[in-house]
A = this chain, B = another copy of it.
Amino acid sequence: MKKESSAPTMKDVAREAGVALGTVSKVVNGLPVGDSYKVRVEDAIQKLNYQVNSYAQGLKASKTYTIALLIPNTVEPFFSALAYHINTALLKRKYRMLLCSTDFDSAQEQEYVTMAQQNKVDGIIGLTYNPNLVIEENTPFVAIDRSMGANIPCVASDNFAGGQLAAEKLADFGCKHVAFLRIGSSLTNEPNKRKAGFENGCLSRGLSYEMKILNDGEPYEEFERFLVEHIHDGKLSFDGIFCVTDSLAFSVIQTLKRLNQRVPEDVQVIGFDGTRFFGNKDYVCSTIVQPLPEIAEMCVELLLRENVTAIPQLVCLPVTYAYGGTTSEKRGSQNYAEE
């Protein structure tokens, strides 16, 4: 092997591999590229003995090996499982994690962002719905579920595909007329794409559908009223319902039972998140499962990589469907064998 007179750069790797600089960056940063490209870049890295991060680490100010996680709380199962997986991904890399349960407190969130700007922590992973959060450029920040601005990567499930998958599953299981129920923030965010994906799935599979959309703060009783309005002669006019979260699905299933509608015989229900009872038992309902370990790994990877030449603005990770007792897998023309 030819000895290099100076340490090879990412450009040298690109030249050696015969690929664009951006492709090398993607491989180095663990982002998807075609397999043949990946092999060529990895071969070139090995041949040139290219040291990922070697310069960046030398230039970097003293590190704290501490990352802060901003999350509303660790009481709701989605948040608490996310905190667990991020904690695990960091500890595996010998990083410490400061937990900041923000309870949606903007001042608290801003304080932790300032800590990152002062290098008191190496970076922040944040799930926040604070519209006024000021994040200066070059603050190491990875956002979950909501884009926080240019140069700040956002990691989320593929919410659009998840909504579409829910519609396809309901169609597979024999539903004809379905409903979508959503409550959540009206700020632009990734989970909002569940709606568009669901509509898309309904249209492509010929399902007729209705929507009931509430904003945070509006009472749950609005959903009850919506359901009651759609019961005629004791029969609900929907045979399938997609709820934006498992938490909402859980409440809706209780309401449906009170209204003498059998789940799944009369109406099938699919939620979103992949919540299990007690964190580790059965799924709460049939659900679109968010890939929490993969989301956690991606957040940590993006935050800790130092020589990122092309920061991905949005990384969407694939979701899956899981049976949880509130759908009729055998009712439709197709029979799926998940779970």
A to B CB contacts below 8 Å, 23 in the list:
A69-B99, A73-B84, A74-B74, A74-B81, A74-B87, A75-B80, A75-B84, A75-B280, A77-B77, A77-B80, A77-B279, A80-B80, A80-B84, A80-B279, A84-B101, A87-B101, A88-B101, A91-B100, A91-B108, A96-B100, A97-B98, A98-B98, A250-B281
**Chain B residue nearest in CB terms to A246:** B278
Is A275 part of the contact surface with B, judged by Cβ < 8 Å? yes
Report the minimum CB–CB distance from A146 to chain B (whole Å): 21
Is A76 part of the contact surface with B, judged by Cβ < 8 Å? yes
Asked if B278 and A76 sit within 8 Å, CB to CB, the answer is: yes
**Which one of A73, A76, A84, A247 has the greatest number of beta carbons of chain B within 10 Å?**
A84
Is A167 part of the contact surface with B, judged by Cβ < 8 Å? no
Is A185 part of the contact surface with B, judged by Cβ < 8 Å? no
Is A57 part of the contact surface with B, judged by Cβ < 8 Å? no
Q: Inside 8 A of A280's CB, which chain B residues have their CB? A: 75-76
Report the minimum CB–CB distance from A245 to chain B (whole Å): 9
**Copy total for this chain:** 2
Q: Inside 8 A of A334's CB, which chain B residues have their CB? A: none
Q: Inside 8 A of A281's CB, which chain B residues have their CB? A: 247, 250-251
Asked if A279 and B76 sit within 8 Å, CB to CB, the answer is: yes
Chain A window 75-105, contacts with chain B (Cβ cutoff 8 Å), 1 for yes, 0 for no? 1110011011001100100001111110100
Chain A window 275-296, contacts with chain B (Cβ cutoff 8 Å), 1 for yes, 0 for no? 1011111000000000000000
Q: Which of B84, B108, B251, B278 contacts A247 (CB 8 A)?
A: B278
| Chain A interface residue bracket vs B | 20 to 34
Chain A window 257-281, contacts with chain B (Cβ cutoff 8 Å), 1 for yes, 0 for no? 0000000000000000001011111
Q: Inside 8 A of A84's CB, which chain B residues have their CB? A: 73-75, 80, 101
Report the minimum CB–CB distance from A94 to chain B (whole Å): 9
**A80-B80, A91-B100, A98-B97 are known contacts. Are A250 and B275 too (CB-CB below 8 A)?**
no
**Chain B residue nearest in CB terms to A90:** B99
Closest 6 CB pairs of A and B: A80-B80, A75-B279, A99-B99, A74-B84, A87-B101, A74-B80
Q: Inside 8 A of A108's CB, which chain B residues have their CB? A: 91
Asked if B247 and A77 sit within 8 Å, CB to CB, the answer is: no
Q: Inside 8 A of A101's CB, which chain B residues have their CB? A: 84, 87-88, 91
**Chain B residue nearest in CB terms to A108:** B91
Asked if A278 and B275 sit within 8 Å, CB to CB, the answer is: yes
**Chain B residue nearest in CB terms to A101:** B87
**Complex CA distance for A108 and B77, rounded to whole angstroms:** 24
**Chain B residue nearest in CB terms to A100:** B91
**Chain B residue nearest in CB terms to A81:** B75
**Complex CA distance for A98 and B98, rounded to whole angstroms:** 4
Q: Inside 8 A of A246's CB, which chain B residues have their CB? A: 278
Asked if A88 and B103 sit within 8 Å, CB to CB, the answer is: yes
Q: Inside 8 A of A69's CB, which chain B residues have their CB? A: 99
**Complex CA distance for A250 and B83, rounded to whole angstroms:** 24
Report the minimum CB–CB distance from A110 to chain B (whole Å): 13
Report the minimum CB–CB distance from A252 to chain B (whole Å): 12
Report the minimum CB–CB distance from A324 to chain B (whole Å): 14
**A91-B108, A278-B77, A281-B251 are known contacts. Are A83 and B99 too (CB-CB below 8 A)?**
yes
**Complex CA distance for A97 and B280, rounded to whole angstroms:** 25
